[in-house]
Amino acid sequence: MKTQKLETKASQAQLDHRETLYKLFKDTPIPTDQLLMHLGLYMRSSALAKILFVNELYELIKDVPGSIMEFGCWLGQNIILFENLRAINEPFNQNRRVIGFDTFGGYASLSAVDGDSEVITGEGYALPANYPDYLKELIAYHESNNILSHISKHQIVQGDVVKTFPQFLKDNPGEMVALAYFDLAVYEPSKVCFQAIRERLVPGSVLLMDEYNFKEYPGATIAFREVFGDTGYKIKKSRYMTDRAIVIID
């Protein structure tokens, strides 16, 4: 699969060093069944931190009713991790749905406040046309492998969230939100989603801000401030991804 190379803050030495790992992975002598059970062999500390971070979020909402949503799910790793954390932590909770939103074609709309990083103005994050179907097949596989597999508990919603999320809420008037992972980075879609989601949050609901106080992408922080102000929630850093902000609704 070809995707455009994403902007990185890694140094050239770090990038060169990663090539060694890519080669070791590509040339692995381990058969696929064993490889999939031992992926930690190839996981850099930054990739491991991302998984620990997703678990940190799940721990925060274990006692909070409602669904898990990701706005800007891209390849869908978090969606798959949430499905499997659900299966591990609360296998009989059929009401913990996992829903991912993305255009799967990259950024749809930009506002003046969003800056001009090439990642969001260019083809960054655009995926091949068949990727949403691939992701749906993958999550269906994981669900079928877990308990209560006959009850569908996930949804992948393709399109611009400015339209798809209000429509989703209309179509699902009883859907409440325990955890909303915001990774859209830009102003307008973030603002539309923050406004729409407010009435579906409960005390203890968690909003994850992937880009908070982020110099290159100020849009999401501005939208958050405009909708939520500075009261009615607590905010803290993630323990594992220390530049991510975790908002807990009072």
Ligand X SMILES: C[S@@+](CC[C@H](N)C(=O)[O-])C[C@H]1O[C@@H](n2cnc3c(N)ncnc32)[C@H](O)[C@@H]1O
Residue 218 binding ligand X, by CB under 6 A? no
Q: Does 114 bind ligand X (CB under 6 A)?
A: no
Find, among 92, 52, 100, 51, the residue nearest to 75 by Cα. Answer: 100
Closest CA to 36 of 148, 149, 138: 138
- Name the segment binding ligand X (CB under 6 A); options: 107-115, 131-139, 148-156, 214-222: 107-115
Determine, following the binding rule CB under 6 A, whether residue 94 of this chain makes contact with ligand X: no
Considering only 53, 58, 82, 101, the residue that binds ligand X (CB under 6 A) is 101
Query: Structure tokens of 20?
Result: 């060694």
- B/e letters for 103-119, b = 16+ CB within 10 Å, e = fewer, are bbbbbbebeeebbeeeb
Identified binder of ligand X from the candidate list 82, 107, 194, 228, rule CB under 6 A:
107
- The nearest distance, CB 33 to ligand X, in angstroms, is 26
- Which neighbouring-strand residues pair with 101? 71, 157
Dihedral angle sign, alpha carbons of residues 39, 42, 47, 49 = positive
Phi, psi of 105 (to 5 degrees): -120, 10
From the list 80-88, 129-137, 184-192, 226-234, the region that binds ligand X by CB under 6 A is: 184-192
Shortest Å, Cβ 184 to ligand X: 5
Within positions 117 to 156, which residues make up the interface with ligand X, using CB under 6 A? 125
User: Would you count residue 51 as binding ligand X (CB under 6 A)?
Assistant: no
Q: Say whether residue 187 binds ligand X (CB under 6 A).
A: no
Q: Which is nearer to ligand X, 110 or 148 (CB)?
A: 110
Cα separations in angstroms, 72 against 84, 125, 210, 230, 239: 19, 10, 10, 24, 22
Q: Which chain residues interact with ligand X by CB under 6 A?
A: 72-75, 77-78, 101-103, 106-109, 125, 160-162, 183-186, 189
